[in-house]
């Protein structure tokens, strides 16, 4: 069984108040490494056997139509071994 991962992130120019809140919480806990934090979504999709190019194309389509909103978000589809 293989896992197809879709990462969805807000486009760089879109304000991410959740990421900003995390970024400002980190130093309060003594973590001073971050200059910026962006928060996104990760979808893990399981398919039977190795994903076929046709399946990956379908996932791309689903990512475009449902999993992301292209107005404000970008997505990346990859197969996780």
Partner 1 sequence: MRVGVVTFPGTLDDRDAARAVCAGGSEAIELWHGDADLKNVDVVILPGGFSYGDYLRCGAISRFAPVMTSIIEQANKGMPLLGICNGFQVLCESHLLPGALTRNSDLHFLCKDQVISIENTNTPWTSSFSKGQEILIPLKNGEGSFQCDDATLASLEGDGQIIARYVGENPNGSRNMIAGITNARGNVVGLMPHPEHAIDALTGPSADGLGFFTSILNAMVK
User: DSSP 3-state helix, strand, coil percentages of the chain (rounded to 5)?
Assistant: 35, 30, 35
Q: Smallest Cα–Cα separation from 6: which of 71, 65, 50, 54?
A: 65
Per-residue binding string, partner 1, 13-52, x by CB under 8 A, is xxx-xx--x-------------------------------
Dmax (CA) for the chain in angstroms is 47
Contact 8, 41 (CB under 8 A): yes
1 binding partner 1? (CB under 8 A) = no
Question: Could you say which residues in the range 51-80 bind partner 1, by CB under 8 A?
Answer: 66-67, 69, 71-72
Residue (21 or 34) nearer to partner 1, CB = 21
Q: What does the binding site for partner 1 look like in residue numbers (CB under 8 A)?
A: 10, 13-15, 17-18, 21, 66-67, 69, 71-72
């Amino acid at each position: 069984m293989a896992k197809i991962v879709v990462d969805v992130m807000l486009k760089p120019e879109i304000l991410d108040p959740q990421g900003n809140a995390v970024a400002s919480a980190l130093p309060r806990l003594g973590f001073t490494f971050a200059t910026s934090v962006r928060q996104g979504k990760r979808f893990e999709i399981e398919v039977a056997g190795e994903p076929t190019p046709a399946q990956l194309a379908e996932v791309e389509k689903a990512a475009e139509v449902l999993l992301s909103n292209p107005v404000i978000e970008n997505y990346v589809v990859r197969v996780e071994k």
